[in-house]
Every structure is written in structure tokens, then in C-alpha cells.
Amino acid sequence: MKSFASDNYAGVLPEVMEALNNANHRHARSYGADDITNDTVQLFRQAFGADVDVHFVFNGTGANVLSISSATQSFNSVLCSETSHIYCDESSAPETFTGCRFFPLKSNNEGKLNTETIRQRLIRKGDMHYAQSSILSITQTTEYATVYSLDELKAIGDLTRSNNLYYHIDGSRFFNAAAALGCTLKEMSTDVGVDILSLGGTKAGMMYGEAVVVFNKELSKHLAYKHKQSMQLASKNRFIAAQFGAMLKDELWRTHAAHANAMAQLLQKSIADIPGVQITKPTQANGVFAIHPVQWNEKMWEHYPYYVWDEHTNEVRIMCSWDTSAEEVKDFAVRMAAL
């Protein structure tokens, strides 16, 4: 069975699995004081073209919550998209751990925030009755598998900097975005003014592990303490680092992310003209959003699971991953066309 439900249904990239096997010899100091971790951090600094600090964590919720906590005290608020993972899919973890309020902002049809929407929420500064906004969080790629352009990212960076807001990107699919834009990791982070990034590994083909990448040294100040406090510090940290090492070496991530993106393009093209199918979002990364008759779901799911994103309209999300094959995509389309 190959699923189109989520890229986290996929397994582990062979290169990553090899790196795990290779990392498993000898003793290594725990909690990140080992050589593999040290080497991998150097790879991050090269890839991001900056003297970043890196904190390896277990999962995306951990990465987001730790990132947010670096820039907040409990009287603060966080601005994010109403459709964001941190707002919709991480339970109350963000509030419970940080104590902060999360204000949802309206995203546009592509699931993106624009600067005008953000600007309108920059209110009541200095008013003690209002949880003071200290950080903005956006998602790249978005929950609709769309991609902010470098200009859009830069515009948001300019806005946050001039308003004393920190700038966070939830990049659980950051590699897919960079592959889609054909840019480097540096161009999509350092160069647009990001302060802190949740860099996703799991959906990109790792077994587990994400990285909190810190560009703004102010946010590093207490982060080692918060890392441990957030229950996200691995004792055998080398095994997360080794995976990221494999991903970053010679931009391995790009090959696999580009493939997943290409499969989504192929899928979109393959189903767009099927009568009854309406593509609802531009296909820019590794997911396709479409509306089709609700009665198709059950039949399609016998072979290819996917998610219903909006029950009212039967808008569905069809997700490709690093191991999705062109044959599977074509078979998916053929089966759908036959309904």
C-alpha cells in the first residue's frame, strides 16, 4: 500500500538509514556533546551561510514550541495563521508550555499571511491588558502546500524587524519549499531576516528529528535550558545529528524533496482534467488540493488513502512523499478517472 495521506507515512531514506547504521559504533557523549553533532552543526552553518545555533529536537511540535519559547515570556502573545499547524494541530502544547496567547490571523486563499494582515494586528503595544505580541510564526511550505516567494518572505522580515517582532518559520516542509523555489536554504532564511526556524526532518525522509535553527543570537540566550525543559533533548543525540548530516551533505534533501514536488505536479496534471475534479490551490510543493465528489473517497481509499481537508466541500489533500513513484501517481489518476 502506498498512501497519499501524509508524507509522514513514508519510511526512512536509504541514505539516512545508512547514516544511522554508521553512527552506531563506539560510545559517544550524550546530550549533543558528541563529534557527530558537532560536525553536523558545521554543516548547518555552511548551508545557512550564518553562525547559526542548532538545537536538535524530536518532532515538529517540539520544534515549534521550543522556537516560540525562545522569543516569549508568558505575558506575550504569538501571531500565526488561522490555518497553521501550531494553531490547529498541536493540541494546547504551545499554550501549556509557554503560557502565551496565540492570535490567529486570516490567511489568504493560498494559506499565506500577507503583510497587511499582520500589520493590522500590531495593536495595543504597551497596554498591560493585552498580551503583548513578540513573535510572528509563518509556515513554509504552508498547510496548503503552497510556497511563499523570497520576496514575500523578505517583506514579512522587513515588517517584523521594524516592529520589534521576532520572525519564526515553521519549516516542517522547508526542504520542499527550497526545492520548489530552486533556492538555497540560506536564501530562504538568513537572507530574508528569519530569527528562528523549525527545520523539518521527519517528513523529508528522516526516521525522527527536527532542528531548531537560531539566526538571532538574542534568542539563543536561554535556549539550552529551554531545550531540556521542553522535554526535547535526546540523550543519544548523535542519531538525530547523523540523519541531518546525511540530509545536508551535498544537498541530499534537494533531490528527494524535488522528487516529491515533481510527483505532486504530475498528479495535479493527471487529475486536473478529470470531469468532477477541481484543483483548489496552486500546486507548488508536494501536495495537491482538489475538490471531487464525496462518493469517490471510499473507492479511492481502497487503494490510496488521503485526507479530507474540508468536510463541507470535500476538498481533499493528496500528498506525495520522497518514495512516491510516477507509476503510483498514474495509477491513482487512472482509478479516479474511472469513477
Task: Write down the least CB distance from residue 84 to a second copy, Å.
Answer: 13
For a second copy, the closer CB: 100 or 288: 100
C-alpha cell at 213: 535553527
Picking from 23, 98, 14, 103, the residue whose alpha carbon sits closest to that of residue 56 is 23
Nearest approach, Cβ of residue 14 and a second copy (Å): 9
**Minimum CB distance to a second copy, residue 11 (Å):** 4
Q: Which is nearer to a second copy, 165 or 181 (CB)?
A: 165
Q: Which amino acid is at 229?
A: Q
Distance CA 275, CA 268 (A): 13
Closest CB to a second copy among 149 and 228? Answer: 228
CB 273, min distance to a second copy, A: 27
For cell 498580551, the residue is 131
Closer residue to a second copy in complex, CB, 157/201: 201
Residues in the chain: 339
The phi, psi pair for 12, rounded to 5°, reads -110, 135
- Cβ proximity of 262 and 280 under 8 Å: no
In 3D, which of 93, 84, 47 has the Cα closest to residue 66?
93
Sort strands 76-81 and 101-105 into parallel, antiparallel or unpaired. Answer: parallel
Please state the closest distance from residue 82 (CB atom) to a second copy, in A: 10
Whole-number Å distance between alpha carbons of 103 and 118: 11
Q: The C-alpha cell of 263 is what?
A: 510527483
**Is 61 or 261 the residue whose CB approaches a second copy more closely?**
61
- Tell me the closest approach of the beta carbon of residue 203 to a second copy, in angstroms: 8
Closer Cβ to a second copy, 31 or 49, answer by number: 31
